[in-house]
Structure 1
Amino acid sequence: MLNKVPEVTVWFWVIKILCTTVGESFADWINMNLGVGLINTALIFTAVLAGVLGWQLGTRRYVPFVYWLTVVVVSVTGTLYTDILTDSQGVPLALSSSVFAGLLAVVFGTWYARERTLSVHSIITLPRELFYWLAVLVTFALGTATGDWTLELTGWTPDVSVLLPLGLIVAIVFAWRLGANAVLSFWLAYILTRPLGANLGDWLGSPSSDGGLGLGTAATSVIFLAAILATVVYLTFSRSDVIEAADPTPRAANPARERIMLGYYAVVAAAAGALLVWAHQQPHAAVTGEDDAPAPVTAHLTPKQATSSFPPADIAKFRTITSDTLTKLNSGDQAAATTRVADLETAWDADQPTLEPRNEKAWRFLDSEIDQVLTALRAPNPDQATEAKALTTLLTSLG
């Protein structure tokens, strides 16, 4: 069959970044607005992935719409797998990043041992295509974990967080131009487009007070989706990214230069690590984790004061999730309560850009009470009385 992967042009990278942002936003919308829950959302998208991937594997050539639809679904699914480990199972991001990095090494090692190539210009057999999509899935999971871990370490605002993955991609392009191994450079850049796309979406959607442009999640998703559709239509008609067959005469490699550029990559990695260590040591507002104490609140607000500034539909959504969590806790199902409360955290974080500007004092008050709920339910040895008290207090504040 003809090569099943598009030529790696500037359009490839543009649409890859756009797909990352839209895919993650769509998953969050299903998880929060429909009240499906994180695990159920992951199950739904796993089934969707099986169907879409079957469609992609069934084609005999590269079809832009089918290929990029598969990329979007793989992006969503890989992100959800990481979120489950972090939010539902409490796996530290450092550990999940290491696990996914090891898994990706196994995938690449097995792929190369069988096919003797990792080049995307040679995806002309079913085994190679299967290896390709498995690698893509793991790169999305790895990119999600390392991107979130970076934000956890640094506390960077959305505008600043875009610069690190962007700078690293520029460094990779520079190395590739100077003779670095093309396959290695491609997969390094591919991993980094995941945190770049997510950070770019956060920057566009977050309010200006948080370092964003204030477009909102919905507007950002619509803009990116329109750009994806326009690009796919262009590629469908222009066929400018079609590889008719595997390249029988790839560009001659320069082993000596490739070794030099491997040293360059090592220096870039060391510099990025040093930057993260330095940023972590600077005073910053850390991301709330499982063991973090909630931020102190100086004044108590009545339910009316806490909720009157916010849309009733949003408050009703938070109240429903909190009530469901309390019901599961009272029935003795700690695991289900812990899983359900993750939906509260996800929904609250997603609505922050629109809610906080309406009434920062009320938002911080409710944020503190939600933090107390999360801390209680995710404690290493949770106490049911403490959990129930935190949930009941939040329910009261939500009216």
Structure 2
Amino acid sequence: MTTPTATVTPRGATGSRLLNKVPEVTAWFWIIKILCTTVGESFADYINTTLGFGLTNTMLLFTAVFAVVLTVQFRTKRYSPFPYWLTVVVVSVTGTLYTDMLTDQQHVPLWLSSTVFSVLLAVVFGVWWLRERTLSIHSITTFPREAFYWLTVLVTFALGTATGDWTLELTNWTPAQSVFLPLGLIASIAALWRFGANPVLAFWLAYILTRPLGANIGDWLASPKVATSAGEPVGLGLGTFATSLIFLSAILATVVYLAISRSDVVETHEVTHERSVTTNLRKERISLGAFGVLAAATVALMVWAHNQPHVTCDPTGQSETLPACPKAALTAGQTAAAVAKYEKLTRTAIAQDQAGTAAASHATVQKMRDDWDADTTSLQAVNNTTWTALDDQMDAVLKTYAIDHGKIQPASAAEQEKQLNVLLGDFQSHRF
């Protein structure tokens, strides 16, 4: 899908004039955009979960990286493939992490975050239009317009993540099944654009939908072939690292090609392609009505899918899209086994701290946190007072490892060992 609209330069536009700072919207644009969104999903999961970096630390890291690459992008005088697409890759990861932080750390419902990001996007578009009188990406030739553009891109990634996850939550579709909804919507938007829909509106709608499309593709490739728990996605089993590596390599190869061919540079494209600027208000109105019908049909499909019989909770409590199933109290034998498991994990982490293997100790404590969260309902049902006391000390341990507490640097190994010893003593003295 291209956007054959002429550059609009309103009299009120301000800022130093530059050559266009974004690429021409060709087939290459959409291919690399979907590749970037897939990386946004898989690479964020790899850093956060597989490496055990933690959601908060991963979010802070990529926020800092985003600030750096965006500064580099702003300092360029015209569109250049490497800084531009590097910024898109980083913003895809960052936008994903912002939504994940709201969902996983702040426990904001996905319907609410989807609503908030939708309103925020409307506000950004509104202010952008009032100031510049155009939302066309063919007019990104001043600093204010570029700032609006990247703010819009960031919000669209966060919104696409929230709506994509919300769709999975409502429908319980597998990643492979969920690919077809955004793919079908993008195809419909492309058809309406060909018919005569407003090109700017069609572009931004498709741009938002590439986020859940890429994320679903990433989940399908990375998810295990057999579900590890009820409600967990299944896929091709490539893993988040392999998926990230494949798509980052594809992005790099595409960017190298574009840097050499310059086929997506607006000025080059205008020389080799005739830009047809046609406006048909009747077709735009018809297409606008068709967009409304498409939205209503999508809502009806999701309501139907939501009402179909499917798993509504996750017995492990570890699913990102399903709530944990209520659990009965553990038996005496099960409780003793659970406490023994945590005592063993605590001793292992202490030994790893003493051996100077900080990464291994962090991974052990991360596993202990995950298991503790999964067992919370059952252990609380046995003895809530004991669970509360142990949970408070578990939280103190997590703070020293900078897990779930937003600290940039963990505490010293000695402090970690100290808090782990306190936790070990609590497990031995507080009986369920």
- Give RMSD over aligned pairs: 3.5
Distance in 2 (alpha carbons) for counterparts of 1:376 and 1:49: 41
SS in 2 for 1:209: coil
Residue number in structure 1 paired with 2:365: 320
Larger Rg: 2
Distance in 2 (alpha carbons) for counterparts of 1:374 and 1:91: 20
Residue number in structure 1 paired with 2:98: 81
* TM-score, normalization by structure 2: 0.71
Unaligned runs of 5+ in 1: 324-340, 345-365, 378-382
Deviation at 1:295, TM superposition (A): 6.5
Deviation per residue, 1:55-102 (Å, 9 max, x gap)? 001001111010000001111111111111111111111011000000
SS in 1 for 2:267: coil
Pick from 164, 185, 209 the counterpart of residue 192 of structure 1. Answer: 209
Query: Aligned pair in 2 of structure 1 residues 140, 376: CA closer, same or farther (>3 Å)?
Result: farther
- Amino acid in structure 1 at the alignment position of 2:146: E
Percent identity of paired positions between Structure 1 and Structure 2: 61
Residue number in structure 2 paired with 1:363: none
Distance in 1 (alpha carbons) for counterparts of 2:31 and 2:385: 49
Pick from 281, 284, 293 the counterpart of residue 310 of structure 2. Answer: 284
Query: Aligned pair in 2 of structure 1 residues 65, 227: CA closer, same or farther (>3 Å)?
Result: same
Distance in 1 (alpha carbons) for counterparts of 2:90 and 2:139: 23
Distance in 2 (alpha carbons) for counterparts of 1:93 and 1:287: 16
Unaligned runs of 5+ in 2: 1-17, 228-233, 315-320, 343-348, 353-358, 395-422
Distance in 1 (alpha carbons) for counterparts of 2:38 and 2:31: 11
Deviation per residue, 1:342-387 (Å, 9 max, x gap)? xx4xxxxxxxxxxxxxxxxxxxxx6xx743338989xxxxx66435
Pick from 231, 238, 258 the counterpart of residue 284 of structure 2. Answer: 258
Distance in 2 (alpha carbons) for counterparts of 1:315 and 1:109: 49
Deviation at 1:200, TM superposition (A): 0.2
Residue number in structure 2 paired with 1:62: 79
Residue number in structure 2 paired with 1:240: 263
Deviation per residue, 1:2-46 (Å, 9 max, x gap)? 111101111111111111121332222332344432222212211
- Number of residue equivalences: 345
Distance in 2 (alpha carbons) for counterparts of 1:171 and 1:126: 33
SS in 1 for 2:260: helix
Deviation per residue, 1:319-359 (Å, 9 max, x gap)? 31255xxxxxxxxxxxxxxxxx5xx4xxxxxxxxxxxxxxx
Residue number in structure 2 paired with 1:138: 155
Q: CA contact under 8 A between 1:124 and 1:246: conserved in structure 2?
A: no
Query: Aligned pair in 2 of structure 1 residues 209, 249: CA closer, same or farther (>3 Å)?
Result: closer
Query: Aligned pair in 2 of structure 1 residues 375, 132: CA closer, same or farther (>3 Å)?
Result: farther
Query: Aligned pair in 2 of structure 1 residues 287, 129: CA closer, same or farther (>3 Å)?
Result: farther
Deviation per residue, 1:210-230 (Å, 9 max, x gap)? 542222222222211111111
* TM-score, normalization by structure 1: 0.77
Q: CA contact under 8 A between 1:207 and 1:214: conserved in structure 2?
A: yes
Distance in 1 (alpha carbons) for counterparts of 2:38 and 2:254: 15
Distance in 2 (alpha carbons) for counterparts of 1:384 and 1:149: 35
Residue number in structure 2 paired with 1:93: 110
Residue number in structure 2 paired with 1:48: 65
- Amino acid in structure 2 at the alignment position of 1:371: A
Deviation per residue, 1:109-158 (Å, 9 max, x gap)? 00011111000111111111000000000000000000010111111111
Residue number in structure 1 paired with 2:387: 386
Residue number in structure 1 paired with 2:239: 216
Q: Is the counterpart of residue 372 in structure 1 residue 375 in structure 2?
A: yes
Query: Aligned pair in 2 of structure 1 residues 206, 38: CA closer, same or farther (>3 Å)?
Result: closer
Q: Is the counterpart of residue 230 in structure 1 residue 231 in structure 2?
A: no
Residue number in structure 2 paired with 1:356: none
Q: CA contact under 8 A between 1:206 and 1:215: conserved in structure 2?
A: yes
Distance in 1 (alpha carbons) for counterparts of 2:49 and 2:236: 23
Distance in 2 (alpha carbons) for counterparts of 1:203 and 1:36: 23
- Amino acid in structure 2 at the alignment position of 1:182: P
Pick from 265, 269, 275 the counterpart of residue 301 of structure 2. Answer: 275
Distance in 2 (alpha carbons) for counterparts of 1:194 and 1:274: 21
Residue number in structure 2 paired with 1:293: 325
